């Protein structure tokens, strides 16, 4: 049975969701299908308040995203293994010790492939063995229809010692390539609502409701000191409250919604005095002076201060320049991504400075995560992605910093000085590349952002403070090892699980949706295989 309310919450008749071929997806952030979460004023970014877009529609953020299916460097995912493998007691504390699905590049890649149905594109070379071909999410590559990328950007990257990567999804994303998008051959978006849900909508044991919001988990008496859930409470748009019961509760509310439901249910940080227990090897708490549940009158069910912490987001700025003439076009899909590693992005002097800065952990960051960041840097894992945007009259690059060095929480987003420095360097790099290599394509004095008034290091730093945006890739607020165990069960509960991007403990340098689809695939297999009698 399927209970649908307003059609915009199903999204199926929203052309901006369906159509990936033009500029329509730019209309989605801030629209009625966005939760429109706002950050607190960012202290290190001119007190800006940033909108943290998340999809409020069937399919969640997969309905409103840019649909790029990328994967990080192999090293980024292999580091999960060393992070968790080194945690004493972790493996014996969980009952179902099936950590294998989330262990390293090989296991996570295998899960991603099981979600993917990749089709090769005529005229483009790809490596089929890197891709899945029978999963629900369809993806393929497209060459841009405008000539800026094919005739301008790609030759310019190659001329400046860059490389063209045959297929970035095999563990080395460095270089430039036509990135796959999650879409059917018709350029219609392929996402969780139409590719996972719709083919199964007729199942008798599946009921989907839209226009309702889960307000809390309902608890029974505890078993062996662990909280037992019997269902959830939810509210409709008229403010009426209902309940749904179940043997297992699986939260997939995303990086903001999942910790919110946990905290409303008494699972989280009750008071400042419990803050110290938040520090594990991997995770730190950003809200050093904030107690979450007690002031709101929420009784503590599980004292778990790491809930809502460890929020990591990728910052970005915008380089925009007017094109020289109407015969030069930048239309089509934003498909070509160029990934730079520390050694290709930074001068040797900047590399030394960055290396020195990295030796000191940001405040509160656990040693394991700190060592992981250093390893990513030393192994030359990609650190900046330059993404092109299909604005007909402009060349637009978004340099996205992939491995940020600051952490926040669901109530206090990250943006600390060291990250600002790296973001400023990548903004400078976007201009240098455009002005040195793309002159014939750009209008004279056509730079719109940052604008020619910005030229010194200090001015670039100020530009970043004033104009920084987000990559829309927040992760980590109910992380493995700190909030959930290896089987994705919330610590201190018998039968509550989290399956979404909030379980990712250490940020990989990529767009996250492919990994999150992979997590969904593995979690489904794992939960199906594990009998309810294991929920103790």
Query: Between the CA of residue 170 and those of 128, 130, 166, 468, what are the distances in Å?
Result: 10, 5, 10, 31
CB of 382 to ligand FAD, least distance (A): 15
Tokens 């070509």 identify what position? 336
CB of 247 to ligand FAD, least distance (A): 19
Residues numbered 486-505 forming contacts with ligand FAD, rule: CB under 6 A: 500-501
Single out the residue of 65, 104, 330, 482 in contact with ligand FAD (rule: CB under 6 A).
65
Q: Quickly list DSSP for 85-111.
A: HT-TTHHHHSSS---GGGSSHHHHHHH
Our CB check for ligand FAD shows the closer of 213 and 294 to be: 213
SS (HEC) of 154-209? HHHHHHCCCCECCCHHHCCCCEEEECCECECCCCEECCHHHHHHHHHCCCCCCCEE
- The stretches of 327-454 forming alpha helices (DSSP H) are 342-345, 348-358, 367-378, 417-437
Question: Site residues for ligand FAD, window 11-40 (CB under 6 A)?
Answer: 29
Q: Which two tokens stand for residue 467?
A: 């104009």
Binder to ligand FAD among 472, 489, 518, 521 (CB under 6 A)?
Answer: 472
Residue 74 contacts residue 27 (beta carbons within 8 Å):
no
Query: Of the ranges 126-134, 146-154, 254-262, 304-312, which one interacts with ligand FAD (CB under 6 A)?
Result: 254-262
| Residue where the block lists tokens 């890739």 | 473
Is 253 or 413 the residue whose CB approaches ligand FAD more closely?
253
**Among 17, 154, 261, 262, contact with ligand FAD (rule: CB under 6 A):** 261
Query: Between 74-85 and 105-115, two packed helices, what is the crossing angle to 10 degrees?
Result: 120
Place of tokens 């929020």: 311
Choose between 14 and 437: whose C-beta lies nearer to ligand FAD. 14
**Which residues ranging from 200 to 219 are in contact with ligand FAD (CB under 6 A)?**
213-214
Tell me whether residue 366 or residue 512 sits nearer to ligand FAD (CB atom). 512
Name the minimum Å distance from CB 54 to ligand FAD: 5
Asked if 67 touches ligand FAD (CB under 6 A), the answer is yes
The sign one gets for the Cα dihedral 522, 525, 528, 529 is negative
| Residue number, 118 or 460, with CB nearest to ligand FAD | 118
How far is 100 from 184, CA to CA, in rounded Å? Answer: 31
Q: What minimum distance in Å lies between the beta carbon of 68 and ligand FAD?
A: 4
Angle of CA points 35, 195, 109, to nearest 5°: 90
Q: How far is the CB of 271 from ligand FAD (least distance, A)?
A: 24
Helix, strand, coil percent values for the chain (each to nearest 5): 35, 20, 45
Evaluate whether 492 touches 267 at the Cβ level (below 8 Å): yes
Q: Does 259 bind ligand FAD (CB under 6 A)?
A: no
**CB nearer ligand FAD, residue 66 or residue 362:** 66
Closer Cβ to ligand FAD, 115 or 153, answer by number: 115
Query: Which residue in the set 173, 253, 308, 408 belongs to the binding site for ligand FAD (CB under 6 A)?
Result: 253
CB of 419 to ligand FAD, least distance (A): 19
Q: How far is the CB of 65 from ligand FAD (least distance, A)?
A: 3
Q: Residue 331, exposed/middle/buried by CB under 10 A (0-12, 13-18, 19+)?
A: middle
* Cβ atoms < 10 Å from Cβ of 159: 10
Taking CB under 6 A as the criterion, the residue among 21, 252, 269, 437 binding ligand FAD is 252
Q: What angle do CA 17, 382, 391 make, to 5 degrees?
A: 35
| CA distances for 499 relative to 90, 341, 490, 517, angstroms | 19, 31, 10, 10
How far the first Cα of the chain sits from its last, in Å, is 31
Question: Which residues are known catalytic residues?
Answer: 473, 511
Annotated binding residue 57: yes
- Please check if 202 is assigned to a binding site: no
Q: From the list 10, 39, 61, 477, which residue makes contact with ligand FAD (rule: CB under 6 A)?
A: 61
User: Near ligand FAD by CB under 6 A, which window of 250-258, 286-294, 315-323, 485-493?
Assistant: 250-258
Question: One symbol per residue from 510 to 529: x for binding ligand FAD (CB under 6 A), - otherwise; what is it?
Answer: -xxxx-x-------------
Give residues 214-243 in contact with ligand FAD (rule: CB under 6 A).
214
What lies within 8 Å, CB to CB, of 234 at 6+ separation is 209, 212, 213, 214, 215, 241, 242, 243, 244
60 belongs to the binding site for ligand FAD (CB under 6 A): yes
Closest-CA residue to 219 (of 256, 261, 254, 266)? 266
Give 45 or 255: the residue with its C-beta nearer to ligand FAD: 255
CB-facing half-sphere around the CA of 289: CA atoms within 13 A: 0
**Binding segment for ligand FAD among 51-59, 74-82, 360-368, 527-535 (CB under 6 A)?**
51-59
166 is in an annotated binding site: no
Decide whether 309 or 500 has the Cβ nearer to ligand FAD.
500
> In this structure, what DSSP letter does residue 279 have?
-
Looking at 385-497, list the stretches that DSSP marks H as alpha helix, in order from N- to C-terminal side: 417-437, 457-467
Q: How far is the CB of 144 from ligand FAD (least distance, A)?
A: 16
Nearest distance in Å: CB 338, ligand FAD:
15
Per CB under 6 A, the list member of 16, 18, 45, 56 interacting with ligand FAD is: 56
Residue set of the binding site: 57, 214, 501
Interface residues with ligand FAD (CB under 6 A) are: 29, 53-56, 60-62, 64-68, 213-214, 252-255, 257, 261, 472-473, 500-501, 511-514, 516
Which parts are annotated binding residues for FAD?
57, 214, 501
């Amino acid at each position: 049975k399927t209970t649908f309310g307003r059609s915009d919450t199903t999204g199926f008749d929203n052309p901006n969701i369906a159509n990936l071929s033009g500029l329509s997806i730019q209309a989605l952030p801030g629209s009625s299908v966005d939760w429109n979460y706002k950050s607190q004023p960012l202290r290190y970014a001119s007190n800006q308040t940033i909108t943290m877009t998340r999809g409020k529609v069937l399919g969640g953020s997969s309905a409103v995203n840019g649909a790029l299916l990328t994967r990080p460097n192999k090293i980024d995912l292999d580091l999960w293994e060393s992070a968790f493998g080194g945690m004493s007691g972790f493996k014996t504390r969980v009952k179902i010790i099936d950590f294998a699905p989330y262990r390293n590049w090989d296991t996570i890649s295998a899960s991603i492939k099981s979600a993917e149905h990749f089709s090769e594109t005529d005229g483009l070379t790809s490596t089929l063995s890197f891709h899945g071909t029978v999963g629900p999410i369809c993806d393929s590559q497209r060459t841009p229809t405008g000539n800026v990328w094919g005739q301008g950007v790609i030759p310019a990257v190659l001329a400046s010692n860059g490389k063209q990567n045959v297929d970035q999804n095999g563990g080395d994303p460095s270089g430039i390539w036509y990135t796959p998008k999650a879409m059917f051959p018709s350029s219609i978006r392929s996402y969780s609502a139409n590719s996972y849900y719709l083919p199964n909508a007729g199942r008798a044991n599946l009921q989907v409701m839209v226009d309702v919001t889960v307000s809390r988990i309902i608890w029974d008496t505890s078993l062996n000191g662990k909280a037992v859930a019997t269902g959830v409470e939810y509210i409709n748009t008229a403010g009426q409250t209902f309940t749904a019961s179940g043997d297992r509760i699986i939260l997939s509310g995303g990086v903001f919604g999942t910790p919110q439901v946990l905290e409303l249910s008494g699972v989280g940080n009750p008071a400042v005095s419990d803050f110290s227990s938040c520090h594990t090897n991997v995770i730190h708490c950003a809200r050093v002076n904030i107690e979450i549940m007690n002031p709101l009158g929420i009784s503590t069910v599980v004292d778990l201060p790491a809930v809502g912490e460890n929020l990591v987001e990728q910052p970005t700025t915008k380089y925009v320049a007017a094109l020289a003439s109407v015969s030069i076009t930048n239309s089509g899909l934003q498909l070509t991504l160029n990934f730079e590693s520390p050694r290709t992005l930074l001068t040797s002097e900047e590399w030394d400075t960055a290396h020195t800065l990295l030796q000191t952990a940001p405040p509160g960051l656990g040693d394991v995560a700190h060592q992981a960041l250093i390893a990513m840097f030393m192994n030359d894992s990609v650190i900046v992605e330059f993404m092109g945007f299909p604005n007909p009259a402009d060349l637009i690059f978004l340099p996205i910093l992939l491995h940020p060095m600051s952490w926040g929480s669901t109530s206090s987003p990250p943006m600390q000085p060291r990250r600002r420095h790296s973001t400023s360097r990548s903004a400078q790099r976007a201009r240098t590349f455009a002005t040195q290599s793309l002159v014939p394509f750009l209008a004279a004095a056509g730079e719109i952002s940052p604008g020619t008034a910005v030229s010194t290091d200090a001015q670039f730093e100020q530009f970043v403070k004033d104009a920084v945006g987000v990559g829309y890739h927040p992760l980590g607020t109910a992380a493995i090892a700190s909030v959930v165990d290896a089987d994705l069960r919330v610590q201190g509960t018998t039968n509550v699980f989290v399956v979404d991007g909030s379980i990712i403990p250490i940020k990989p340098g990529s767009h996250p949706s492919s990994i999150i689809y992979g997590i969904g695939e593995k979690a489904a297999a794992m939960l199906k295989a594990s009998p309810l009698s294991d929920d103790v």
